[in-house]
Amino acid sequence: MREVAFWRTESPEETKRLGKEFVLGFCRPPVLVLLSGELGAGKTVFVKGMAQALGIPESEVRSPTFSLVHEYSGKPYPLYHMDFYRLSRWEEVVDLGFPEYLEGGGIVVVEWGEKFLSFFPPPFFWVQIGIVDECVRHIRVTHSGGGDDSRP
Ligand SMILES: Nc1ncnc2c1ncn2[C@@H]1O[C@H](COP(=O)(O)OP(=O)(O)O)[C@@H](O)[C@H]1O
Ligand SMILES: [Mg+2]
């Protein structure tokens, strides 16, 4: 994994702005983005920012903890938001249609994606959010390399 960005944020608004910048600066679909960080780290806040880059209202964005997948129709491409917190086996990931979503021509972003890190086909981004204190977060973005496309 190669580090492509490291940010410090001091508010949810700043984290949203970084999520938006991440999409505009790094994402050319189809793209897979894994998000990790403990409960309350700001994974969903980051996805709200990613959604903004595609014109999706942030009010539509919620952790798909129970439904597992939320599809948002963005412009110019869709955002597929998944949460694997409750999954324990890769077969469950396949059963919910993960391979098809990946080929859906959009961005697939997965909260708790690191649970299956060794199963995901490169290339993918891994966004790790660490809690520093109540309002401060460190966000590290790495890229797997590999696949047909080793951007960035
Ligand atoms: N710098 C920050 N970035 C993101 N969220 C923050 C930050 N500071 C405080 N928070 C708060 O942390 C919580 C993050 O929640 P959420 O995004 O749902 O976490 P997760 O999806 O990782 O469980 C929100 O209540 C948000 O207001
Ligand atoms: Mg969440």
The domain ranges of the chain are 2-143
CA distances from 136 to 26, 36, 47, 51, 53 (A): 23, 16, 17, 22, 23
CB of residue 16 inside a 6 A radius of ligand 1 = no
Ligand at shortest distance from the CA of 41 = 1
pLDDT at 143: 97
Average pLDDT score over residue span 7-22? 98
CA distances from 144 to 23, 125, 149 (A): 17, 6, 10
Distance 15 CA to ligand 1 centre (A): 8
pLDDT at 148: 59
**Among candidates 109, 103, 118, 122, which has minimal Cα distance to 30?**
103
For domain 2-143, give the CATH superfamily: P-loop containing nucleotide triphosphate hydrolases (3.40.50.300)
CA distances from 18 to 5, 43, 47, 88 (A): 10, 12, 10, 30
pLDDT at 52: 98
Helices 43-52, 12-26: inter-axial angle, 10-degree rounding: 50
* Tens digit of each residue's pLDDT (9 = 90 or more) over 101-149: 999 999 999 999 999 999 999 999 999 999 999 999 999 999 999 875 5
Q: Which residue's CA lies nearest to atom 27 of ligand 1?
A: 12
CB atoms within 10 A of CB 148: 6
Per-residue confidence band for 65, with pLDDT thresholds at 50, 70 and 90: confident
